[in-house]
Structure 1
Amino acid sequence: MSRELHIRREAARRFWGVIDPELGVNIVDLGLIYRMFMRDDDTFVVEYTTTTAGCPMRRYLQRKIEEALQSIEEIEKFETKLVFEPEWSVEMIVEGVEFFSVPPPMMSG
């Protein structure tokens, strides 16, 4: 197995632990990771998106993706790129994913 393939697989494993807090689903199953590749300068690049361009969780997701990459010892340099092409759609979600919803706060009468 090539070094790049090994790193891509390890990154995907780590990304399964990155949960979108609004949907309660990991970013891999949501289809938010578009590309992962090694540049010629040995920088590991991850292109990802959010469910909407104005997603309030975009900085949170970026931080969690970066933390996941920092935890892989074979990665010396990395770059994360937030992209919006192609536009994310619900068809990108893995079939059979179960979402959670947070119950609304109880209203006192």
Structure 2
Amino acid sequence: MAAEIITQNMELAQKAINTLKTCYDPEIPVDIWELGLIYELNIDIENNLTILMTLTSPSCPVAETLPPETEQKLREIEGIKSAKITMTYSPPWEKEMMNEEAELELGFM
């Protein structure tokens, strides 16, 4: 499942994706973008960024720290006015949501 990208500013969206690729679930050596933890990336006309994301499990040990750390990194992107992450567990994350790069990294292919 690829993230839905909603924006007219693809340059800022790519910067956000590049930033998400620097954020890792510490239990899995793959970034949160490649893992498929990002369901939606939305940049509005005023360059406010909102992200809809999940974790590999609702009881993930980094549930309290990973989202705010990621949100802080996104706020530091030049051109982003604000950044907000909303968590969801619907649909629940499944390994099929990973992209090919993550599957290769983890030895699933």
Give the TM interval when normalised to the shorter protein: 0.7 to 0.9
Bigger radius of gyration? 1
Q: SS at 1:59's partner residue?
A: coil
CA–CA distance in 1 between the matches of 2:25 and 2:95? 14
Corresponding position of 2:32: 27
Counterpart residue type for residue 15 of structure 1: L
Q: Deviations over 1:47-66 (max 9, x none)?
A: 11000111111122112311
User: Conserved in 1, the CA contact under 8 Å of 2:8 and 2:45?
Assistant: no
Check conservation: 1:25, 1:98, Cα contact below 8 A: yes
What is the percentage of aligned positions where both structures have the same residue? 27
How many equivalent residue pairs?
99
Higher helix fraction: Structure 1 or Structure 2?
Answer: 2
Task: Determine if contact 1:14/1:68 at 8 Å carries over to the other structure.
Answer: yes
Deviations 1:17-42, CA, capped at 9 Å, x for gaps: 11110111100110001101124665
Aligned to 1:7: 12
**Structure 2 unpaired stretches of 5+:** 1-6
Runs of 4+ residues deviating >2 angstroms: 38-43
Deviates more, 1:50-59 or 1:38-47: 38-47
Say what the alpha-carbon RMSD is for the aligned residues: 2.1
TM-score for the superposition, normalised by structure 1: 0.78
